[in-house]
Amino acid sequence: MCKKDFTSKTIRIGKNQPRDIDDDLYTHYALVNPLLYNVITCPHCCYTSLSKTFDKLLPKQKEWLKHILFTLQKQNLTPSEHPTIEEAIHKYKLALLIAMTKKSKIGEQSYLALHIAWLYRELQDSQNEQHFLKKALDGFIETLENETLPILGFDEHTVMYLLSAISYKLSDMETSKKYLSTLLVASGISPRIKNRALDLKTKLKIN
Ligand SMILES: [Zn+2]
CA distance 120 to 147: 27
* pLDDT given for residue 82 in this prediction: 87
Residue 155 CA, ligand 1 centroid: distance in Å = 31
Whether 203 contacts 168, CB under 8 Å: yes
- 32 Cβ neighbours under 8 A, 6+ residues apart: 11, 16
* pLDDT given for residue 207 in this prediction: 55
Whether 157 contacts 168, CB under 8 Å: no
Residue 41 CA, ligand 1 centroid: distance in Å = 8
Residue 113 CA, ligand 1 centroid: distance in Å = 23
Instruction: Report the alpha-carbon angle 113-139-29, nearest 5.
Output: 35
At 158-169, the pLDDT tens digits run: 999 999 999 999
pTM summary value: 0.95
Which residues are found with C-beta within 5 Å of the ion, ligand 1? 1-2, 42, 44-45, 47
* Three-class SS state of 84: coil
Residue 68 CA, ligand 1 centroid: distance in Å = 13
Phi, psi (5° rounding) for residue 105?
-60, 145
Q: How far apart are the first and last CA of the chain?
A: 52
* pLDDT given for residue 147 in this prediction: 97
CA distance 25 to 19: 12
Residue 3 CA, ligand 1 centroid: distance in Å = 6
- 38 Cβ neighbours under 8 A, 6+ residues apart: 50, 51, 52, 115
- Per domain, the residue ranges of the chain are 1-145, 155-207
Q: Does residue 6 carry a pLDDT above 90? A: yes
CA distance 23 to 11: 24
More confident residue, 45 or 56: 45
* pLDDT given for residue 79 in this prediction: 75
CA distance 191 to 75: 47
Q: Does residue 89 carry a pLDDT above 80? A: yes
* pLDDT given for residue 11 in this prediction: 86
At 93-113, the pLDDT tens digits run: 999 999 999 999 999 999 999
**Dihedral sign of CA atoms 46, 50, 55, 61 in order:** negative
Q: What is the mean pLDDT of residues 178-182?
A: 97
Instruction: Please tell me the least confidently modeled range out of 47-61, 68-82, 139-153.
Output: 68-82
